[in-house]
Structure 1
Amino acid sequence: MSNFYEQSLQKLLAEGRLREFKPLTGRSGCRIDYRGRQMLNLTSNDYLGLAGDKRLHEKFYRTMTGGNLLDDFGLGAASSRLLTGDSIRSHQLEQTVRETYNKEACLLFNSGYHANIGILPALLGKNDLILSDKLNHASIVDGMRLSLARHKRFRHCDYAHLAELLHKFRKDFHKVIIVSESVFSMDGDVADIAQIARLKAEYDCLLYLDEAHALGLYGPQGLGMAEEQGQLDAVDLLVGTFGKALASVGAFVLCSAVLRDYLINHSRSLIFTTALPPVVLHWDHFIFQEMLHRSSERSGLKTLSAQLRQSLISHGLRTDGATNIVPVLLGDDSLAVALAESMQERGYLIFPVRPPAVPEGTARFRLSLTADMHWTDIAGVAENIAQLMPHFIA
């Protein structure tokens, strides 16, 4: 039996798809140490540069005293929230997020993955339907698979196709939920939330929006693409994560009070897991409030992203999207692997993105820009990629 697994791994290696852990050290702003040398980190989800901000961490830890050591800086909740793992800090964080968004209720999850695999199966049964954008994140796909509901995927950001599916199938199901990311994690493009909201209202559906890659970056307060597009009121279930621009771990869903209570009683990924530790809850509350005032970082990142896209295009490279996630479309898996290694030798920490993370034939670099970068850091990226590519193309 072990031969099967060994042969499978060898096949992945031959195809350029073998994945391995990559230990990193020495984080300093947008730079990090890998394989004994410092590199510009173009692979991070630390979009606002908060995870690498030493002074911000010092500010947080200066609030630690003997009196609040366990309540605010304890390392373990030691139980699920429904037993003894709940705390005042959890409720304070939920209240702050809820009030900031002006929503009725907020519920914490341990991660965006926990939220996406726990919400859909809890809310939908065999007489219900999930309509999901084809390029939604794997955690949403797993949530659909765990649900008893039927599910169908509409073509990526193709709302005419979504309308066709609603027209054809809405009458056959009790509840229907439309699920989309707001910023898509591998392409860096953006959903038209107003169009989805219009169809949701026309066909009496729920709208589930995953703002994982938009939270912190869009809207006047950084509340995400729904705020940016003026559609916060149209979203029935808005999922945000602390694990990307907010430099932490954990997630939340904003919804009605009824749905919150229902999830507390039916969402297995919430019920059967240990709660977030006190230090994480305290940091999440601290960093969420910091994020609200980072408008200059948001503005600077938008300018930087546009500059890099233009540079890639001017060097004859294929790119897409309109956010700080900037893909470089390469196509071939082996090319992506070899080119990434050569870029690392030139001081750029880039890892290849290959199937199944992206569709077959669309291997790429996913260049992730962060607010602590400057144009001088990334000015040579496109030129280096363009110089290296001919060496790896037969």
Structure 2
Amino acid sequence: MPAPISKRLQDALVQLKDNQQYRQLPDLEHQGRYVVNNGKTLLNIASNDYLGLSGDTALQYEFFEHMQQYPAAHLPKMSAASSRLLTGNDAQLQLLENELEHWYRLAVGEGNSATTKSALVMNSGYHANIGILPALTALPVKTLILADKLVHASIIDGIRLSQNKLCSYRRYRHNDYEHLATLLAQAEDNVERIIIITESIFSMDGDCADLQALVRLKALDSRIELYVDEAHAVGVFGDQGCGLAEETQTLTDIDYLVGTFGKAFASIGAYVLCDETVKSWLINHMRPLIFSTALPPINHAWTRFILAKMPQLQARRQHLAQVSLQLSQAISPVHRVTSGQQEAVYQSPIVPYLLGDNARTITKAEQLQAAGFYALPIRPPTVPANTSRIRLVMNASISTTDCQRLIAHL
């Protein structure tokens, strides 16, 4: 008889340990820009808190004072207690969507005629990507999805959920737009819609998509729509902090602009900026939106508080760019990730330190932790085989001196 499932699970877990791919939840205490792990205080260089806002206690106290302006009857609730289509569509959430649309208009330029985009807020970036794509492909329209090889797992899952008799997909080599152009040329004449999907800043390699090149490709075929996930660029780029699309002046050319609040915004949730008709379609067909309890209104109040400050955080963005570039330039060629075809034009806060081998990567992470840095090994299947790396992540609370000390230990 086959072994019991529990025994087979145990054997599979042992195999993970043998391959040095076993994961477990860390026991952490957060103290501003530091984490306490196993009794040791370490500088956090592993989180996505790019602007250093999540541990800013002065900012938190300011928010609490801001909340005191609300009469007791109108304080934001601690739970939505329902999906948005029932009773979860709180005033804070509706105000947040209005303010996101205004933020987008500021980033585009108020004088630009193409400033009409609607915002739809969701519970997370994962919810967004596994919900938007299947909803878009629910129409009986022959659709081809062309996605960058290194898009996030949530996008891959969304694509898988989108597959049906009328929707197929292919992956183009990472940031290889000649390959993408070849796939576009191979699209059958009866394909009515082509959705090109990319991240703007890639979460593991830290490199950026050439959004302007994608816009030029889009202009060649009226069937093409652009879907850009700005999760790691929102708050980091642009005068308003609207992301790489703002920085490259491509905002109005992107059909589905997805962003998250769980990184530079130091909050939780996600949004998509899209056409008003598309928003209405998503409300009617996007399963994670329809069947999930909305986030607590108090969270949306905090996100609104941060959003109002986002255009004023340019000094943090500039410092972040400086320390990120300082670290990136110090990485020797042997430890650089070179999977993309594009030279880095915009320096992201994500600086991978490639080691390749799992054991070597774990050892290096332990050495950095011993030196006072909370650095973590990233191994397959999160990244391709033989590309294990330390994912060094800068944030605006890291000083130039901190960065120099980190470089010395590399």
- CA 1:37 to 1:138, structure 2 compared with 1: closer, same or farther past 3 Å? same
- Alignment-derived partner of residue 121 in structure 2: 108
Does 1:379 find its partner at 2:410? Answer: no
- Alignment-derived partner of residue 362 in structure 1: 387
- Alignment-derived partner of residue 36 in structure 1: 39
- CA 1:174 to 1:186, structure 2 compared with 1: closer, same or farther past 3 Å? same
Q: TM-score, normalised by structure 2?
A: 0.90
Does 1:184 find its partner at 2:210? Answer: no
Does 1:23 find its partner at 2:27? Answer: yes
- CA 1:88 to 1:354, structure 2 compared with 1: closer, same or farther past 3 Å? same
Q: Secondary structure at the match of 2:183?
A: helix
- Alignment-derived partner of residue 241 in structure 2: 222
Q: Secondary structure at the match of 1:162?
A: helix
- Alignment-derived partner of residue 255 in structure 2: 236
Query: Match for 1:174: what amino acid?
Result: E
Question: After TM superposition, what 4+ stretches of structure 1 lie above 6 angstroms from structure 2?
Answer: none
**Superposed, which structure 2 residues align to 1:257-296 within 5 Å?**
257-296=276-315
Q: How far apart, in 1, do the equivalents of 2:274 and 2:119 lie?
A: 6
Q: How far apart, in 2, do the equivalents of 1:275 and 1:249 lie?
A: 11
**Shift in Å, 1:36:** 0.8
The gaps in structure 2 that reach 5 residues or longer are 106-115, 339-343
Q: How far apart, in 2, do the equivalents of 1:140 and 1:319 lie?
A: 22
**Identity across the alignment (%):** 44
Contact 1:170-1:203 at 8 Å conserved across structures = no
**Shift in Å, 1:24:** 1.4
Q: Secondary structure at the match of 1:169?
A: coil
> Which residue of 353, 358, 363 corresponds with 1:333?
358
**Shift in Å, 1:197:** 1.2
Q: Secondary structure at the match of 1:136?
A: coil
**Shift in Å, 1:176:** 1.3
Contact 2:335-2:353 at 8 Å conserved across structures = yes
**Superposed, which structure 2 residues align to 1:96-245 within 5 Å?**
96-102=99-105, 103-125=116-138, 127-148=142-163, 149-204=167-222, 205-245=224-264
Contact 1:309-1:319 at 8 Å conserved across structures = no
Aligned residue-pair number: 383
Deviations 1:175-211 (A, max 9, x none): 2111000000111111111111121221221100100
**Shift in Å, 1:43:** 0.1
Deviations 1:117-174 (A, max 9, x none): 0000000147211110000000000000111221110000011111111110152422
- CA 1:160 to 1:71, structure 2 compared with 1: closer, same or farther past 3 Å? farther
> Which residue of 47, 50, 53 corresponds with 2:50?
47
Deviations 1:330-358 (A, max 9, x none): 00011111221221111110110011111
Query: Match for 1:218: what amino acid?
Result: F
Deviations 1:274-333 (A, max 9, x none): 01111111001111111221101111111111111222239x643565311100010001
**Shift in Å, 1:71:** 4.3
Q: How far apart, in 2, do the equivalents of 1:333 and 1:294 lie?
A: 38
User: What is the CA RMSD across the aligned residues, in angstroms?
Assistant: 1.6
Deviations 1:79-133 (A, max 9, x none): 0000011112111100110121124211001000000000000001472111100
**Shift in Å, 1:67:** 4.9
**Shift in Å, 1:245:** 0.3
- CA 1:17 to 1:65, structure 2 compared with 1: closer, same or farther past 3 Å? same
Q: How far apart, in 1, do the equivalents of 2:158 and 2:323 lie?
A: 35
Q: How far apart, in 2, do the equivalents of 1:220 and 1:66 lie?
A: 29
Deviations 1:22-77 (A, max 9, x none): 1211322x212111111010101000000010000000011233954574442110
The gaps in structure 1 that reach 5 residues or longer are 386-394
Contact 1:131-1:151 at 8 Å conserved across structures = yes
Does 1:82 find its partner at 2:85? Answer: yes
Contact 1:218-1:225 at 8 Å conserved across structures = yes
Q: How far apart, in 1, do the equivalents of 2:214 and 2:188 lie?
A: 15
Q: How far apart, in 1, do the equivalents of 2:88 and 2:376 lie?
A: 38
Q: Secondary structure at the match of 2:312?
A: coil
Q: How far apart, in 1, do the equivalents of 2:72 and 2:325 lie?
A: 44
Contact 1:241-1:251 at 8 Å conserved across structures = yes
Q: How far apart, in 2, do the equivalents of 1:70 and 1:275 lie?
A: 20
Query: Match for 2:62: what amino acid?
Result: K
Q: TM-score, normalised by structure 1?
A: 0.94
